[in-house]
Structure 1
Amino acid sequence: MAQVAYVDSMLREYLIFRGYSNTLKALDVEQRNEKDQHFRAERLIEHFNAAVQASDLKALRNLWLHLDNYLFSKLDHNYAVAVKKLENNLLKYYLVTAYSNNKSDKISEFFKKLSSELQQQNEWKDWFYFSFCKNAEESPTFALYFTKQWQDTLLLSLRNFLTTVYQCLPQPSFVRAEQEAAHMQRLQDENTRLRARLQQLQQEQQQQQSSSAASSQNLSSGEASSSRRRQQQSLNDILPFDISPPGHIVDDFCIIASEANIVGQASDAQARGLKLLIRNIGNAGSPVLTRKDNVGDKSLSSSKRRSGSVGRSWI
């Protein structure tokens, strides 16, 4: 893989800079002996098998704890049962191998260090009798674990499990340094684009608000002008009365003056008629007075006085 080769070159450069000549030689040997440039599960199986054959409990436990912390802990919880079963079988393989090599002290050391941890598990209850059992390879409880078939099956299952896990796990952060840098650059570019887009949207929103305010003002002014136009139109729609215009132009004041003269002439004629009536009443030859000859002098004189007073008041 290109990333692994790039990291190898960086590591070599660092070792040369620091002067780690022995580490550089060991790296060269490891790289020459490795057939391909990626991890192989057989290497771990070799380390496990070497620790078991040498009865090195510390090396066995440290390697397993390292894998558990940095590899198995990243798996789904469904694999927890399989991981625990492989660990227990590997420890049982260690005890069986120590018993076959007549290393009873290693068996006692095993239970002394791990008894507090193993006594919590039911499948280890019979194994606390293992250090006191004679001819354990013939015991029905432990005979299965001494067979070569079981031991080979255990190592094969462990190798397949490690191979599957390493294929599914992501690459280490040290290997993915260049990819992480490129990913961070892409995220920064995307963040810049999003900020520019947000600023553009804010400007567009402000423009829309200003345009809506202007349109509302135009609408209000348009409504006022339209209302004025409607009023003018309503006034224009009124039809005048069908009155024929006069033949000639006459001044209104002239009409009023002529009407006043006519009224004055009528009143003068009436006054003259009343005066003539009063005069006729005062004459002796009046037909009204001849009808009153039989009336007494007193009544005649009183009627004359009344008539004379009335005539004088009108005159």
Structure 2
Amino acid sequence: MLSIALPKGSLEDQTLLLFAEADLPVRKSSRAYNPTIDDPRITRVKVLRPQEIPIYVADGHFDLGISGHDWVTETGADVVEVAELPYAKTGAGVVKMVLAVCDDSPVGTAADIPPGSRITTEFPNVTRAFFERLGIPVDVQFSYGATEAKVPELMDALVDLTETGSTLRQNGLRIVEVILESTTRLLASRSAWEDPEKRQAIEEVRTLLLGVIEARGRVLLSMNVAEDRMDEVIAQLPAMKRPTVNRLYGSSDYEITTVADKATVNILIPRLKSAGAEDILEVPITKIVR
């Protein structure tokens, strides 16, 4: 029913991990660009560069695709951004499209860029539009990679993506402006989104992917608590809404369950124990579907 284009390159590993955790594992064969997903909703899978995916989805070659919002903006592709999937090359996070200059440049902000400056980038359309808004005429030149290596010898500044800025700093570059922030998106073609049968399948795939995203970094905590210690224990608990409380069969004690951030359980569990919780279980969560 659905054809889907998955990204090759920097987003590939995290995308494959997400689909595996969503119970939609991508199975590669000797034909690396034509893997399969063993799911009745997905009939064709292709691995392509993320730069191309928004265009191919917009043109109807694929019903679904995964690419960055940066490439949707750069290509101007007319697609439906079905869901935000906040992961990048190194895991969860947002990437930034930035304007950077060499460390010893007198430029402090984008407005300081001298007219006629040479700007190297893989995002010429976004870059031109940005400087047009500033009213600064610049010479935008397309970069085929290693963009940071061209400043200052060949170019005066660059526009590129960064997660942490570390690569720019290592190459003696300094960020002077954030042009836009981008996350990975689940994209759909207009025709697929308007088709009732395909739209239902797209929404089901979205539910699985977002369920994994929501569950990342979360655990389920379950514990037994005596009735007279209930308030003390509950006061320690985080919860998405409220903790679930159930009476234990044949006992005056209760079972309490809640969701907590994995990063906090090393502090939380001892506090729960001190407050009166017993038989505390920590259980990994694979999906949270709201």
Could you say which TM-score interval applies, normalised by the shorter chain?
Answer: under 0.3
| TM-score of the pair, normalised by structure 2 | 0.23
RCO higher in 1 or 2 (8 Å CA, sep ≥ 6)? 2
| TM-score of the pair, normalised by structure 1 | 0.21
Structure with a larger share of its residues in helix: 1
